[in-house]
Amino acid sequence: MRNKFAKFMYGRYGLDELSKFLSTASLVVIIVSMFLAQTSKTVVFLIAIALLVYSYFRIFSKNYEKRRAENAKYLKFRQPIVDKIKLRREMWAQRKEFKFFKCPSCKAVLRVPKGKGKIRVVCKKCGTAFEKKT
């Protein structure tokens, strides 16, 4: 049985981040579809199935090059979102010791220690200076 599966998977692309995302998304869409009215339920359910089918199509695909390119595209699209979530988490963890400002010129996030009164903040990225209360 295990041998048969290994033979079947030989030369196939397998699981990657995009396929993981697609199968998770299909699960979420199936759950959402359960709360919908009968008319839209079928359509949303079919979307979920399509996502799942596409995910399995990618896993069993033998076209490595194409699947790799798709995954790279997905990762490139996802990176800024991941970075933003990471930054938010860090800001939340440091909220007691630091205050965060956005640079008015380049929108970079700047961190200054809390409780220093009114201070001049100089952006590390573009050099813009502005006054803020901490």
Size of the site for Zn ion (CB under 5 A): 8
Question: Per CB under 5 A, does 121 bind Zn ion?
Answer: no
CB of 127 to Zn ion, least distance (A): 7
CB of 125 to Zn ion, least distance (A): 5
Across the strands, what pairs with 108?
Answer: none
Question: Per CB under 5 A, does 15 bind Zn ion?
Answer: no
Per the structure block, which two tokens stand in for 27?
């699960």
Of the residues 106, 114, 116, 132, which one makes contact with Zn ion according to CB under 5 A: 106
Angle formed at CA 9 by CA 7 and CA 11, multiple of 5 degrees: 95
Helices (H), the chain: 2-9, 17-34, 38-60, 64-93
Binding mask 66-105 for Zn ion (x = CB under 5 A): -------------------------------------x-x
27 vs 106, beta carbon nearer Zn ion: 106
Question: Per CB under 5 A, does 53 bind Zn ion?
Answer: no
Question: Per CB under 5 A, does 123 bind Zn ion?
Answer: yes
Which residue, 63, 65, 67, 53, is CA-closest to 23? 53
Q: Are 65 and 82 in contact (CB under 8 A)?
A: no
Taking the CA atoms of 134, 85, 74 and 17 in sequence, report the sign of the dihedral they define.
Answer: positive
Where along the sequence are the contacts to Zn ion (CB under 5 A)? 103, 105-106, 108, 123, 125-126, 128
